[in-house]
Structure 1
Amino acid sequence: MKAGNRIFKATLVCTALITLGAATTMRVEAHGDVVPQSVDVSALKPLGAEWKKENPYRGDKEAIRIGTSAYNQNCARCHGLEAISGGIAPDLRMLPLDAETDDYFINTVRRGRVRNGAVYMPPFEGMMAQEAMWAIRSYLDTRYEP
Protein backbone atom coordinates (compact mmCIF):
# COMPACT_ATOMS: atom_id res chain seq x y z
CA MET A 1 0.00 0.00 0.00
CA LYS A 2 2.90 2.37 0.67
CA ALA A 3 4.13 2.14 -2.95
CA GLY A 4 0.64 2.92 -4.23
CA ASN A 5 0.38 5.89 -1.89
CA ARG A 6 3.76 7.27 -3.11
CA ILE A 7 2.70 6.90 -6.74
CA PHE A 8 -0.56 8.69 -6.01
CA LYS A 9 1.27 11.57 -4.27
CA ALA A 10 3.86 11.82 -7.08
CA THR A 11 1.08 11.91 -9.67
CA LEU A 12 -0.75 14.59 -7.69
CA VAL A 13 2.41 16.72 -7.43
CA CYS A 14 3.16 16.32 -11.16
CA THR A 15 -0.39 17.26 -12.08
CA ALA A 16 -0.22 20.34 -9.86
CA LEU A 17 3.10 21.45 -11.39
CA ILE A 18 1.86 20.96 -14.95
CA THR A 19 -1.32 22.91 -14.17
CA LEU A 20 0.66 25.71 -12.53
CA GLY A 21 3.07 25.84 -15.45
CA ALA A 22 0.26 26.00 -17.99
CA ALA A 23 -1.48 28.75 -16.06
CA THR A 24 1.62 30.93 -15.74
CA THR A 25 3.28 30.38 -19.11
CA MET A 26 2.86 33.31 -21.49
CA ARG A 27 1.82 32.58 -25.03
CA VAL A 28 4.55 33.36 -27.55
CA GLU A 29 3.68 34.41 -31.08
CA ALA A 30 6.19 34.90 -33.88
CA HIS A 31 4.61 38.05 -35.28
CA GLY A 32 2.76 39.37 -32.27
CA ASP A 33 2.74 42.94 -31.10
CA VAL A 34 6.44 43.74 -31.22
CA VAL A 35 7.63 47.29 -30.73
CA PRO A 36 10.67 48.16 -32.85
CA GLN A 37 13.68 49.03 -30.71
CA SER A 38 15.40 52.34 -31.33
CA VAL A 39 18.78 52.32 -33.00
CA ASP A 40 21.42 54.97 -32.25
CA VAL A 41 22.88 55.93 -35.62
CA SER A 42 24.64 59.10 -34.48
CA ALA A 43 28.06 57.56 -35.30
CA LEU A 44 27.07 57.04 -38.96
CA LYS A 45 27.23 59.51 -41.84
CA PRO A 46 23.70 60.96 -42.26
CA LEU A 47 22.03 59.90 -45.50
CA GLY A 48 19.48 62.68 -45.90
CA ALA A 49 15.79 62.50 -46.73
CA GLU A 50 16.07 60.74 -50.09
CA TRP A 51 16.07 56.95 -49.80
CA LYS A 52 19.17 55.26 -51.17
CA LYS A 53 18.75 52.32 -53.53
CA GLU A 54 22.15 50.81 -52.80
CA ASN A 55 23.86 50.20 -49.44
CA PRO A 56 25.98 53.29 -48.72
CA TYR A 57 27.62 51.62 -45.70
CA ARG A 58 28.81 48.36 -47.29
CA GLY A 59 32.01 47.31 -45.52
CA ASP A 60 31.84 50.16 -42.96
CA LYS A 61 32.95 48.69 -39.59
CA GLU A 62 30.88 51.10 -37.51
CA ALA A 63 27.76 50.43 -39.59
CA ILE A 64 28.33 46.69 -39.17
CA ARG A 65 28.66 47.11 -35.39
CA ILE A 66 25.47 49.17 -35.19
CA GLY A 67 23.68 46.86 -37.64
CA THR A 68 24.59 43.79 -35.59
CA SER A 69 22.95 45.25 -32.50
CA ALA A 70 19.95 46.58 -34.46
CA TYR A 71 19.43 43.20 -36.15
CA ASN A 72 19.54 41.35 -32.83
CA GLN A 73 17.01 43.75 -31.31
CA ASN A 74 14.60 44.02 -34.22
CA CYS A 75 15.03 41.14 -36.67
CA ALA A 76 16.43 38.06 -34.93
CA ARG A 77 13.14 37.07 -33.30
CA CYS A 78 11.81 36.14 -36.74
CA HIS A 79 14.85 35.80 -39.00
CA GLY A 80 16.98 33.96 -36.43
CA LEU A 81 20.16 34.58 -34.48
CA GLU A 82 23.07 35.44 -36.78
CA ALA A 83 20.51 35.56 -39.62
CA ILE A 84 20.09 31.78 -39.53
CA SER A 85 16.36 31.31 -39.91
CA GLY A 86 14.51 28.73 -37.90
CA GLY A 87 11.73 28.66 -40.48
CA ILE A 88 9.49 31.52 -39.34
CA ALA A 89 10.90 33.99 -41.86
CA PRO A 90 13.40 33.84 -44.74
CA ASP A 91 17.06 33.07 -44.05
CA LEU A 92 18.77 36.40 -44.75
CA ARG A 93 22.22 34.91 -45.32
CA MET A 94 21.11 34.18 -48.87
CA LEU A 95 20.78 37.85 -49.94
CA PRO A 96 23.32 38.51 -52.72
CA LEU A 97 25.57 41.55 -52.30
CA ASP A 98 24.39 43.67 -55.21
CA ALA A 99 22.42 46.82 -55.98
CA GLU A 100 19.28 44.94 -57.07
CA THR A 101 19.11 43.01 -53.78
CA ASP A 102 19.89 46.19 -51.82
CA ASP A 103 16.86 47.86 -53.42
CA TYR A 104 14.68 44.81 -52.67
CA PHE A 105 15.95 44.75 -49.06
CA ILE A 106 15.33 48.43 -48.29
CA ASN A 107 11.84 48.39 -49.83
CA THR A 108 10.91 45.26 -47.88
CA VAL A 109 12.11 46.71 -44.59
CA ARG A 110 10.43 50.05 -45.28
CA ARG A 111 7.06 48.67 -46.38
CA GLY A 112 6.94 45.24 -44.76
CA ARG A 113 5.25 42.20 -46.30
CA VAL A 114 1.54 41.41 -46.39
CA ARG A 115 0.01 38.37 -48.06
CA ASN A 116 -3.72 37.75 -48.29
CA GLY A 117 -4.27 40.40 -45.63
CA ALA A 118 -1.88 38.76 -43.15
CA VAL A 119 1.13 40.78 -41.98
CA TYR A 120 4.24 38.64 -42.41
CA MET A 121 6.62 41.50 -41.67
CA PRO A 122 5.66 44.89 -40.28
CA PRO A 123 6.77 48.06 -42.08
CA PHE A 124 9.68 49.80 -40.33
CA GLU A 125 9.55 53.12 -42.19
CA GLY A 126 8.74 55.83 -39.66
CA MET A 127 9.92 53.56 -36.83
CA MET A 128 13.54 53.18 -37.86
CA ALA A 129 15.84 55.61 -39.68
CA GLN A 130 17.19 54.83 -43.13
CA GLU A 131 20.68 54.75 -41.57
CA ALA A 132 19.59 51.98 -39.19
CA MET A 133 18.11 49.91 -42.02
CA TRP A 134 21.29 50.18 -44.09
CA ALA A 135 23.39 49.35 -41.02
CA ILE A 136 21.37 46.14 -40.66
CA ARG A 137 21.99 45.39 -44.34
CA SER A 138 25.73 45.97 -43.71
CA TYR A 139 25.62 43.41 -40.90
CA LEU A 140 23.75 40.94 -43.14
CA ASP A 141 26.47 41.38 -45.78
CA THR A 142 28.91 39.82 -43.28
CA ARG A 143 26.60 36.79 -42.94
CA TYR A 144 26.25 36.15 -46.70
CA GLU A 145 26.53 32.50 -47.69
CA PRO A 146 26.00 31.91 -51.43
Structure 2
Amino acid sequence: MRKTSFLCTLVLAASAFLSPAAHAHGDVTPQVVDTKTLPPLGDKWAAENPYRDNKEAQKVGASAFGANCARCHGIEAISGGIAPDLRLLDRDCMTQKIEAKRKACIKDNDEYFSSSVRKGKVRNGAVYMPPFEGVLNQEAVWAIKAYLETRREVK
Protein backbone atom coordinates (compact mmCIF):
# COMPACT_ATOMS: atom_id res chain seq x y z
CA MET A 1 0.00 0.00 0.00
CA ARG A 2 2.80 2.41 0.87
CA LYS A 3 4.53 1.82 -2.51
CA THR A 4 1.32 2.61 -4.40
CA SER A 5 0.81 5.88 -2.50
CA PHE A 6 4.40 6.91 -3.11
CA LEU A 7 4.13 6.01 -6.80
CA CYS A 8 0.87 7.98 -7.17
CA THR A 9 2.45 10.98 -5.47
CA LEU A 10 5.48 10.75 -7.74
CA VAL A 11 3.32 10.53 -10.90
CA LEU A 12 1.17 13.49 -9.81
CA ALA A 13 4.23 15.58 -9.00
CA ALA A 14 5.85 14.74 -12.33
CA SER A 15 2.71 15.54 -14.30
CA ALA A 16 2.36 18.89 -12.52
CA PHE A 17 5.98 19.71 -13.33
CA LEU A 18 5.99 18.48 -16.93
CA SER A 19 2.63 19.88 -18.06
CA PRO A 20 1.87 23.09 -16.18
CA ALA A 21 -0.81 24.06 -18.72
CA ALA A 22 -2.85 21.08 -17.61
CA HIS A 23 -2.90 22.50 -14.10
CA ALA A 24 -3.65 26.13 -14.97
CA HIS A 25 -5.62 28.42 -12.70
CA GLY A 26 -9.00 27.28 -13.94
CA ASP A 27 -11.10 26.67 -16.99
CA VAL A 28 -9.71 28.33 -20.12
CA THR A 29 -13.23 29.09 -21.37
CA PRO A 30 -14.25 32.66 -20.47
CA GLN A 31 -16.66 32.63 -17.55
CA VAL A 32 -19.77 34.79 -17.31
CA VAL A 33 -19.78 37.02 -14.22
CA ASP A 34 -22.85 37.51 -12.02
CA THR A 35 -23.15 41.29 -11.64
CA LYS A 36 -26.76 41.54 -10.43
CA THR A 37 -25.65 42.92 -7.02
CA LEU A 38 -24.02 45.93 -8.73
CA PRO A 39 -25.72 49.12 -9.91
CA PRO A 40 -26.44 48.74 -13.65
CA LEU A 41 -24.33 50.92 -15.93
CA GLY A 42 -26.23 50.75 -19.20
CA ASP A 43 -24.98 50.21 -22.73
CA LYS A 44 -22.68 53.23 -23.14
CA TRP A 45 -19.24 52.43 -21.75
CA ALA A 46 -18.02 54.73 -18.99
CA ALA A 47 -14.67 56.46 -19.55
CA GLU A 48 -13.76 56.02 -15.88
CA ASN A 49 -14.40 53.28 -13.35
CA PRO A 50 -17.78 54.03 -11.76
CA TYR A 51 -17.18 51.33 -9.12
CA ARG A 52 -13.96 52.76 -7.67
CA ASP A 53 -13.88 52.04 -3.90
CA ASN A 54 -17.17 50.10 -4.13
CA LYS A 55 -16.82 47.11 -1.74
CA GLU A 56 -19.43 44.97 -3.52
CA ALA A 57 -17.78 45.62 -6.88
CA GLN A 58 -14.41 44.65 -5.39
CA LYS A 59 -15.93 41.36 -4.19
CA VAL A 60 -17.53 40.64 -7.59
CA GLY A 61 -14.31 41.71 -9.31
CA ALA A 62 -12.19 39.36 -7.18
CA SER A 63 -14.36 36.43 -8.24
CA ALA A 64 -14.41 37.55 -11.89
CA PHE A 65 -10.64 38.00 -11.90
CA GLY A 66 -10.13 34.52 -10.46
CA ALA A 67 -12.42 32.96 -13.07
CA ASN A 68 -11.19 34.89 -16.13
CA CYS A 69 -7.84 36.56 -15.57
CA ALA A 70 -5.83 34.65 -12.95
CA ARG A 71 -4.73 31.88 -15.31
CA CYS A 72 -2.49 34.42 -17.08
CA HIS A 73 -2.16 37.37 -14.70
CA GLY A 74 -1.71 35.24 -11.57
CA ILE A 75 -3.74 34.33 -8.51
CA GLU A 76 -4.65 37.51 -6.61
CA ALA A 77 -3.04 39.42 -9.53
CA ILE A 78 0.46 38.28 -8.57
CA SER A 79 1.89 37.56 -12.01
CA GLY A 80 4.15 34.60 -12.51
CA GLY A 81 5.62 36.18 -15.62
CA ILE A 82 3.17 34.91 -18.25
CA ALA A 83 1.35 38.24 -18.51
CA PRO A 84 1.78 41.73 -17.03
CA ASP A 85 1.51 42.15 -13.27
CA LEU A 86 -1.73 44.10 -12.97
CA ARG A 87 -0.92 45.28 -9.44
CA LEU A 88 1.45 47.69 -11.17
CA LEU A 89 -1.05 48.85 -13.80
CA ASP A 90 -1.59 52.36 -12.47
CA ARG A 91 1.47 52.86 -10.27
CA ASP A 92 2.60 55.89 -12.29
CA CYS A 93 -0.71 57.58 -11.50
CA MET A 94 -0.40 57.01 -7.78
CA THR A 95 3.00 58.69 -7.61
CA GLN A 96 1.79 61.88 -9.31
CA LYS A 97 2.13 64.80 -6.88
CA ILE A 98 -0.19 67.16 -8.78
CA GLU A 99 -3.82 66.14 -8.21
CA ALA A 100 -5.02 67.17 -11.70
CA LYS A 101 -2.26 65.08 -13.32
CA ARG A 102 -3.06 62.13 -11.07
CA LYS A 103 -6.77 62.25 -12.00
CA ALA A 104 -5.97 62.56 -15.71
CA CYS A 105 -3.59 59.61 -15.45
CA ILE A 106 -6.21 57.49 -13.67
CA LYS A 107 -8.82 58.34 -16.34
CA ASP A 108 -6.36 57.45 -19.11
CA ASN A 109 -5.48 54.23 -17.30
CA ASP A 110 -9.17 53.31 -16.93
CA GLU A 111 -9.74 53.81 -20.67
CA TYR A 112 -6.65 51.71 -21.47
CA PHE A 113 -7.80 48.92 -19.14
CA SER A 114 -11.35 48.86 -20.50
CA SER A 115 -10.15 48.85 -24.10
CA SER A 116 -7.58 46.14 -23.44
CA VAL A 117 -10.10 43.84 -21.78
CA ARG A 118 -12.76 44.42 -24.41
CA LYS A 119 -10.58 44.22 -27.52
CA GLY A 120 -7.76 42.00 -26.25
CA LYS A 121 -4.13 42.33 -27.27
CA VAL A 122 -2.89 41.13 -30.65
CA ARG A 123 0.59 41.83 -32.01
CA ASN A 124 1.86 40.59 -35.39
CA GLY A 125 -1.10 38.24 -35.59
CA ALA A 126 -0.34 36.61 -32.23
CA VAL A 127 -3.04 36.82 -29.56
CA TYR A 128 -1.46 37.87 -26.27
CA MET A 129 -4.82 38.46 -24.59
CA PRO A 130 -8.18 37.33 -25.91
CA PRO A 131 -10.96 39.88 -26.32
CA PHE A 132 -13.65 39.66 -23.63
CA GLU A 133 -16.19 41.92 -25.34
CA GLY A 134 -19.47 40.03 -25.51
CA VAL A 135 -18.38 37.78 -22.64
CA LEU A 136 -17.85 40.29 -19.84
CA ASN A 137 -20.34 43.12 -19.53
CA GLN A 138 -19.37 46.64 -18.50
CA GLU A 139 -20.24 45.93 -14.86
CA ALA A 140 -17.89 42.93 -14.79
CA VAL A 141 -15.00 44.81 -16.43
CA TRP A 142 -15.22 47.74 -13.99
CA ALA A 143 -15.66 45.38 -11.03
CA ILE A 144 -12.40 43.66 -12.02
CA LYS A 145 -10.69 47.06 -12.20
CA ALA A 146 -12.11 47.95 -8.75
CA TYR A 147 -10.66 44.69 -7.41
CA LEU A 148 -7.27 45.34 -9.04
CA GLU A 149 -7.11 48.72 -7.32
CA THR A 150 -7.22 46.86 -3.97
CA ARG A 151 -4.19 44.83 -5.11
CA ARG A 152 -2.19 47.90 -6.17
CA GLU A 153 1.52 48.00 -5.40
CA VAL A 154 3.09 51.43 -5.49
CA LYS A 155 6.86 51.62 -5.32
TM bracket (short chain): 0.7 to 0.9
Per-residue deviation, residues 68-98 of structure 1 (Å, max 9, x unmatched)? 0000110000000111111000000012261
Structure 1 equivalent of residue 67 of structure 2? 73
Determine what percentage of the aligned residue pairs are the same residue.
59
Q: TM-score, normalised by structure 2?
A: 0.74
Structure 2 equivalent of residue 122 of structure 1? 130
Matched position secondary structure for 1:114: strand
Please tell me whether residue 105 in structure 1 is matched to residue 99 in structure 2: no
* Number of aligned residues: 125
Structure 2 distance, partners of 1:140, 1:124, is 17
Spell out structure 1 runs of 4+ moving beyond 4 A. none
State the Cα distance separating 1:121 from its structure 2 match.
Answer: 0.3
Structure 1 distance, partners of 2:148, 2:55, is 13
Which structure is larger by alpha-carbon Rg, 1 or 2?
Answer: 1
Structure 2 distance, partners of 1:129, 1:103, is 15
Structure 2 equivalent of residue 82 of structure 1? 76
State the Cα distance separating 1:110 from its structure 2 match.
Answer: 0.3
**How big is the alpha-carbon RMSD for the aligned residues of Structure 1 and Structure 2?**
2.2
State the Cα distance separating 1:53 from its structure 2 match.
Answer: 1.1
Q: TM-score, normalised by structure 1?
A: 0.78
Amino acid at match of 2:129: M
User: Which consecutive residues of structure 2, in runs of 5 or more, have no partner in the other structure?
Assistant: 1-6, 94-105
State the Cα distance separating 1:34 from its structure 2 match.
Answer: 2.4
Structure 1 equivalent of residue 21 of structure 2? 28
State the Cα distance separating 1:35 from its structure 2 match.
Answer: 1.1
Amino acid at match of 1:81: I
Structure 2 distance, partners of 1:115, 1:26, is 26
Choose from 118, 124, 132 the match for 2:140. 132
User: Which consecutive residues of structure 1, in runs of 5 or more, have no partner in the other structure?
Assistant: 1-13
